[in-house]
């Protein structure tokens, strides 16, 4: 039986959240909001609880989880080596939507890290997440609170649709503000490496980490590594059940439209008048690109409710936050026209 808990996202009631935190302490699994997406959390040191996450989500065992903390002091029980050498980077981006990868201590279960000797950690800024993590009293391992492969949940209703009856508690903290999973930066190597783009853009990260390396697989010059190096890699993600056709090459758009005359179009508000006579789904505004990021997964979830055999989504210029959006769309698409 799943317990639903509703809280004010800005001023959460500690008494209510204490019940959810107790579930973590007892080895249960709790879905909770962050500023990025909803997470599905368990005590990272409780292996049986962690394994519940993989079972509930049908998640591959080699796909690592992110550990969520509320205080930098918690790194001492998770991270091997000198934490202070990267302290200035963490101070800029924590709390916030950036996950850092470190060498792990031996006590961090390999079930959490997908068998890797590194661990992914983040400190969320969402008020509900901060209070919930503090009351839980332990670092919480949490991937997104959805069935593996499906669009990540940005509203409690998404979590309910996927996981109600499978998890112990769902905390409803409203819509998540940012709408994309965290940016992931690997600090375990000789130089910092971007492994997943997210709400903190490449441009923002490079201001603080000018030697940030962008791997070729993110620039689509080569395929992703076969074994995931961080959460969200090496598997198809965010995909609706219906075919999603991503059109990057605008010169081929007319050909795609004629081939799929009844397919609805997903596009920004500014482009919608180009598709007169077609059903269009607005994903946000180009002049306010973070609205596209915030709405993306909700729009992808709407695809399967449409009376259509397939859906066409218009590619966007991969700059700033839209680089992260395009990263997600390429993973969600069943066909990419470039």
pLDDT tens digits along 258-279: 999 999 999 999 999 999 889 9
Give the model's confidence band at 230: pLDDT under 50 very low, under 70 low, under 90 confident, else very high. Answer: low
Give the model's confidence band at 319: pLDDT under 50 very low, under 70 low, under 90 confident, else very high. Answer: very high
- CATH classification for the domain delimited by 244-337, as one of 3.40.50.620, 3.40.50.300, 3.40.1160.10, 3.40.50.11030: 3.40.50.11030
3-state secondary structure the chain: CCEEEECCCCCCCHHHHHHHHHHHHCCCCEEECCCCCCEEEEECCCHHHHHHHHHHHCCCCCCCCEEECCCHHHHHHCECCCCHHHHHHHHHHCCCCEEEEEEECCCCCHHHHCCCCEEEEECCCCHHHHHHHHHHCCCEECCECCCCCCCCCCCHHHHHHHHCCCCCEEEECCCCCCCCCCEEEECCCCCCEEEECCCCCHHHHHHHCCCCECCCCCCCCCCCCCCCCCCCCCCCCCCCCCCEEEECCHHHHHHHHHHCCCCCEEECHHHHHHHCCCCEEECCECCEHHHHHHHHHHHHHHHHHCCCCCEEEECCCCCCHHHHHHHHHHHHCCEEEC
Residue 5: half-sphere exposure toward Cβ, Cα within 13 Å = 25
pLDDT score for 241? 85
pLDDT score for 184? 97
User: Cβ distance 42 to 28 under 8 Å?
Assistant: yes
Decide if pLDDT at 229 tops 70.
Answer: no
Cα 148 to Cα 12, 289, 316, distances in angstroms: 29, 27, 25
Average pLDDT for residues 281-297, to the nearest whole number?
A: 97
- Of 86 and 68, more confident: 68
12: left (phi over 0), alpha (psi -120 to 50) or beta: beta
Average pLDDT for residues 281-287, to the nearest whole number?
A: 96
- Of 131 and 307, more confident: 131
**Angle between the 14-25 and 127-136 helix axes, to the nearest 10 degrees?**
50
Structurally, at CATH architecture level, domain 3-208 sits in Alpha-Beta Complex (3.90)
User: Cβ distance 336 to 239 under 8 Å?
Assistant: no
Decide if pLDDT at 235 tops 70.
Answer: no
Rg (CA), the chain: 20
Decide if pLDDT at 224 tops 70.
Answer: no
Domain ranges of the chain: 3-208, 244-337
pTM of the full structure: 0.94
């Amino acid at each position: 039986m799943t317990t639903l808990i509703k809280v004010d996202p800005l001023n959460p009631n500690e008494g209510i959240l204490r019940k959810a935190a107790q579930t973590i302490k007892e080895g249960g699994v709790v879905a909770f909001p962050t500023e990025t997406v909803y997470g599905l959390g368990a005590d990272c040191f409780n292996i049986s609880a962690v394994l519940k996450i993989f079972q509930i989500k049908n998640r591959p065992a080699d796909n690592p989880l992110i550990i969520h903390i509320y205080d930098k002091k918690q790194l001492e029980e998770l991270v091997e080596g000198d934490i202070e050498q990267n302290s200035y980077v963490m101070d800029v981006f924590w709390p916030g939507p950036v996950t850092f990868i470190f060498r792990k201590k031996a006590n961090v279960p390999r079930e959490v890290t997908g068998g890797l000797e590194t661990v992914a950690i983040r400190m969320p800024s969402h008020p509900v997440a901060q209070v919930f993590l503090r009351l839980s009293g332990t670092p919480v391992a949490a991937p997104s609170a959805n069935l593996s492969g499906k669009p990540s949940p940005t509203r409690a209703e998404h979590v309910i649709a996927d996981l109600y009856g499978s998890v112990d508690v769902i905390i409803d903290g409203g819509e998540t503000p940012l709408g994309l999973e965290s940016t992931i930066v690997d600090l375990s190597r000789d130089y910092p490496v971007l492994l997943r783009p997210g709400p903190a853009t490449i441009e923002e990260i490079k201001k603080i980490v000018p030697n940030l390396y962008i791997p070729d697989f993110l620039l689509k010059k080569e395929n992703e590594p076969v074994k995931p190096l961080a959460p969200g890699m090496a598997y198809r993600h965010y995909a609706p059940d219906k075919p999603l056709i991503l059109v990057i090459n605008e010169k081929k758009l007319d050909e795609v439209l004629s081939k799929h005359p009844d397919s609805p179009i997903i596009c920004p508000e500014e482009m919608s008048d180009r598709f007169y006579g077609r059903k269009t789904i607005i994903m946000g505004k180009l002049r306010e690109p973070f609205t596209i990021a915030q709405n993306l997964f909700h729009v992808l979830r709407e695809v399967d409710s449409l009376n259509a055999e397939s859906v066409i989504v218009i590619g966007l210029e991969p700059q700033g936050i839209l680089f992260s959006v395009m990263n997600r769309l390429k993973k969600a698409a069943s066909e990419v026209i470039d």
